[in-house]
Amino acid sequence: MEMVERNPMTGIYPASPDYLHALEVKQPSRLLFVSGTMGLDKAGMAAADLDGQLALVWTNLRTIPASADMTVDNIVRLTSYLRDGAFMEANQNARLRALGGRAVPTTAIIVETLSDDWLVEIEIMADG
């Protein structure tokens, strides 16, 4: 699989260092669509704060692709659902750490429909 970043330099606003307009995946072999994943532990309990939930989300987002012999390096698309816009920077930083600084097409959406104790939910698409 080959991944090519697509960030046009004219006719559109510039992409930021942690964001891509598009990622072309040449000759995809398999696609894995991961449902929204929360910051829940093995017992299904949410961590008490945002940092704890982000840590658990990314632990879970390592475990699920591993079941398909993939890693976070296979992630080609990510959508974050945040309870509060104030969570944007922490979410971005956690994503950049988890992906080793690699940018992927990403969208963050502020929602009020998460369960009361869920602060963040992330869904991904991976190719491997």
Per residue in 78-126, pLDDT (tens digit) is: 999 999 999 999 999 999 999 999 999 999 999 977 677 889 989 988 8
pTM, to two decimals: 0.85
Per residue in 4-58, pLDDT (tens digit) is: 888 888 888 788 888 788 888 888 688 899 999 999 999 999 999 999 999 999 9
Neighbours of 98 (CB within 10 A): 20
Taking alpha carbons only, the member of 126, 7, 128, 108 closest to residue 61 is: 126
Beta bridge partners of 33: 125
- 19/7 Cα distance (integer angstroms): 9
Token reading at 44? 């299904």
